[in-house]
A and B are shown apart, each in its own frame.
Chain A
Amino acid sequence: MDDKQYRELLVKRFTDRTVTDEELEVFIKLINEGKLDTQLLEAMNKDMGITKADEVNFLPPVKTYKLWPRLAGAAAIMFLLGIGVFYTLNRQKHKIITEDILPFTEMAILKSGGRTILLDSIKSGKIFQTNITKSHGEQLVYDKFFEPSGVMYDTIQIPRGGRPYTVTLSDGSKVILNAATTLRYPQRFSKNRHEQVELISGEIYVEVVHNAEAPLQVKTSGQVITDIGTIFNIAAYTDEHDTRTTLVEGLAKINAAGKEKILSPGKQAIFTGSNLTVETANVSQATAWKDGLFRFNGERIEVVMRQLARWYNIEVNYEGKLTDEVFYARVNRKRSIREVLNILERSQKVKFKVEGRRVTIWTRP
């Protein structure tokens, strides 16, 4: 016998469980050195009855495409688009509606005490072995009187294409989560509410139950927002260039990049990762999502598409040069993607094709 056959024998004795300690040591040594790859493959092929013909099923994986191409220079030709009217008028003109994607195709996940719970699959009522009650319309409520043995954190994850959830924390503060959002928070706040709520990524709308003695803190990457009697919206998507905190009511303090700013209603803090500035906000635009609307107010196409990508869980592919047009629209988020794209196509500046989960966009000359 030569080495190759010994190696075969070694693999056989490993699977038969007849190996001695010494053989096992050699087996581990050789597998780490990559010297048993062929033998393992052959042994498994034989065991499982895999033939050459089966390998044909295995073609190289499909190429993936870059999501966001470079930005083109800005210009501002504007198009005012109405709400649904255009769409209805226009519907008949579209000869081929190839494929379509509806929102809410993906499932929200809650991680609590080492368990992973598929929120969309469970019934209303108290969630088994937790202090959480689920109710109609994607609502979760944390029990005020629950006494956990230590500080325990839960994480809720709304995937791209997932349905927004409203979570009422144990202090009564209400958080609405957009699609593509991950939030971590304590199962129960202590009296001084020093436990942080962390927006890991995504967008939330928060209505804080104010307590001057114990302000609520929300953390995003590199930034801490402290409530001073507040309703605010934070958009901290990883695929956007900045994090935007918009104040609806009350006051809030923002600490980031070594600076501290106080936000008053109607103002928006923009944190770029290295700098923090405050501007006047378009509050209804910033919070339109929680009312079930897309509101585009002079947005470039790539900004529009990033929102659609998160909501419909699509991949966006740009053919040719990006258009410099900006878009104005108000669209119900319950619509299918084709309906939304049709509205954008009314501008006569862009055209879309939907294939599976990929949307390709062309600029019209």
Chain B
Amino acid sequence: MESSHILSDSELLLKIIAGDENSFATLYDRYQKNIYNYVYRYVHSAEMADDLTQEVFIKIWNSRKKLGHVKSFKGYLLITARNHTIDNLKAALINENAMGEVVRNLVSRRVLADDNIIEKDYAAFLQSELAKLPDRTREVFRLCRDEGLSYEQVAQQLKISKNAVKNHMVFSLKILKTAVNKELGISLVVFFATLLSP
């Protein structure tokens, strides 16, 4: 690609709609870190955040032909990421095993707060909700918090299974190929093996 000037999102978007992978790779590089950071704040698991970020870009790549009406690529990307994160966070927390991935990661990096300043009414609100929680659910929560289920096991239970993620990743890897070769000077297969190894 000519480096004489940096293409804007809209210019790149037009090329993406026409199926240009390099333009997609450029936008991927431009926003991937950003998106990852947002997603990570909500799922607390680095692996899950990685997967979800990949999937967001794959979703966009796969629907590239329908992006003609998109005025702002960034806006479209952020909303796709937001919706995908919320959907998957909800899916994860409904599932006993997947819950563990989120809960354990969060708990292990918990920031100690000054619990004394918790407002009395807020505490009462929490207590009333807790009272409605069946013992079984609280038990499950503790198991999730304490037991070291691997992400692999977790992913099996998740709607976005790790295999599905791998399958999907194929598309993103096609796109990443250029970037990887350029920046790391390694072949795609090696990169693949690294990326997909548990």
- Chain B contacts of A122 at CB under 8 A? 187-189
Cβ proximity bits A1-34 to B, threshold 8 Å, 1 near / 0 not: 1010010010001111111111111101111100
Segment at the A interface, from B46-54, B125-133, B153-161: B125-133
Interchain CA distance A9-B99 in the complex, whole Å: 21
Give the CA-CA distance A23 to B89 in the complex, in Å.
16
Give bound CA distance, A6 to B132, whole Å: 17
Known: A54-B76, A114-B196, A122-B189. A40 touches B133 (CB 8 A): no
A20 and B125 CA atoms in complex are apart in Å by 14
Residue in A1, A3, A24, A116 whose beta carbon sits within 8 Å of that of B170 in the complex: A116
What residue of chain A has the Cβ atom nearest to residue B188's Cβ?
A121
Q: Are B174 and A107 in contact (CB under 8 A)?
A: yes
A-contact bits for B165-181, CB 8 A (1 contact / 0 none): 01101100110010000
0/1 interface trace, chain B 125-149, chain A, CB 8 Å (1 if under):
1100110110001100100010000
Interface size bucket, B side? 35 or more
CB distance B188 to A118 under 8 Å? Answer: yes
Q: Does A77 sit at the interface, judged by CB under 8 A?
A: no
A29 to B103, CA, bound (A): 13
- Of residues 173 through 187 on chain A, the ones whose CB sits less than 8 Å from some CB of chain B are none
By beta carbon, the residue of chain B nearest A24 is: B103
Report whether B192 and A26 are in contact in the complex, using a CB–CB cutoff of 8 Å: no
Q: A18-B110, A116-B192 are in contact. Are A62 and B66 (CB under 8 A)?
A: yes
CA distance A61 to B137 in the complex (A): 38
Nearest CB of chain A from residue B86's CB, rounded to whole Å? 5
Interface size class of A (residues with CB under 8 A): 35 or more
Decide: A15 and B122 in contact? CB cutoff 8 A.
no
Which of A9, A40, A50 sits near B78, CB closer than 8 Å? Answer: A50
Q: Are A1 and B111 in contact, CB atoms less than 8 angstroms apart? A: no
| Shortest Cβ distance from residue B187 to the other chain A in the assembled complex, whole angstroms | 8
In the bound complex, residues from chain B placing their C-beta under 8 Å from that of A24 are 103, 106-107, 141
Complex Cα spacing A29 to B140, Å: 12
Task: Check A59 for interface membership: any CB of B closer than 8 A.
Answer: yes
Minimum Cβ distance to chain B for residue A63 (Å): 11
Q: Complex: how many Å from CA A53 to CA B115?
A: 39
Across the interface, which residues of B come within 8 angstroms of A15, CB to CB?
41-42
Query: Which residues of chain A are near B33, meaning CB under 8 Å?
Result: none
Q: Are the CB atoms of B69 and A44 closer together than 8 Å? A: no
In Å, the complex CA distance between A107 and B173 comes to 12
Knowing A44-B85, A50-B75, say if A29 contacts B137 (CB, 8 Å): yes
The chain B residue with its CB closest to the CB of A11 is B42
Q: Which residues of B contact A274 (CB under 8 A)?
A: none
Cβ of B193 under 8 Å from chain A:
yes
Residues A37 and B86 in contact, CB atoms below 8 Å apart: yes
On whether the beta carbons of B119 and A1 are closer than 8 Å, the reply is yes
Is B6 located at the chain interface by the 8 A CB criterion?
no
Whether A121 and B177, one on each chain, are in contact in the complex, defined by CB atoms closer than 8 angstroms, is yes
A57 and B170 contact, Cβ closer than 8 Å, known pairs A18-B113, A44-B85, A116-B192: no
Whether B110 pairs with A31 at a CB distance below 8 angstroms is no
Q: Determine whether the beta carbon of B106 is less than 8 Å from that of A3.
A: no
A6 to B126, CA, bound (A): 9
Q: A6-B122, A17-B109, A127-B189 are in contact. Are A41 and B70 (CB under 8 A)?
A: no
Contacts A25-B141, A54-B72, A129-B193: A116 and B169 contacting too (C-beta < 8 A)? yes
Tell which of B66, B121, B129, B188 touches A1, judged by Cβ atoms closer than 8 Å.
B121
**Contacting residues, chain A, for B81 (C-beta < 8 A):** 48
Question: Which residues of the partner chain B approach A116 to less than 8 Å between Cβ atoms?
Answer: 166-167, 169-170, 192, 196
Q: How far is the CA of A53 from the CA of B126 in the complex (A)?
A: 36
- Within the complex, which residue of B38, B70, B109, B170 is in contact with A44, where a contact is CB–CB below 8 Å? B38
Residues of B within 8 A of A23 (CB): 126
Give chain B nearest CB distance to A87 CB in angstroms: 26
Whether the Cβ atoms of A30 and B169 lie closer than 8 Å is: no
Does A75 have its Cβ within 8 Å of any Cβ on chain B?
Answer: no
Q: Is A31 in contact with B130, judged by CB distance below 8 angstroms? A: no
B30 interface residue per 8 A CB criterion: no
Contact of A40 among B65, B86, B173 (CB under 8 A): B86
Interface: A348 (CB within 8 A): no
A293 — which chain B residues lie within 8 A by C-beta?
none
Q: A18-B113, A122-B188 are in contact. Are A57 and B79 (CB under 8 A)?
A: yes
Residues of A within 8 A of B (CB): 1, 3, 6, 9, 13-26, 28-32, 37, 40-41, 44-45, 47-51, 53-59, 61-62, 107, 109, 114-118, 121-123, 127-129, 356-357
What would 9 A/B residue contacts be, using CB atoms closer than 8 Å?
Answer: A13-B113, A14-B42, A15-B41, A37-B86, A44-B42, A54-B72, A62-B66, A115-B196, A122-B189
Known contacts A55-B75, A59-B69; can you find 20 more A-B pairs with CB under 8 A?
Answer: A6-B122, A17-B109, A18-B110, A18-B113, A25-B133, A25-B137, A26-B129, A28-B99, A28-B141, A31-B89, A37-B86, A44-B82, A45-B82, A48-B81, A48-B82, A53-B72, A54-B79, A61-B63, A121-B177, A121-B188
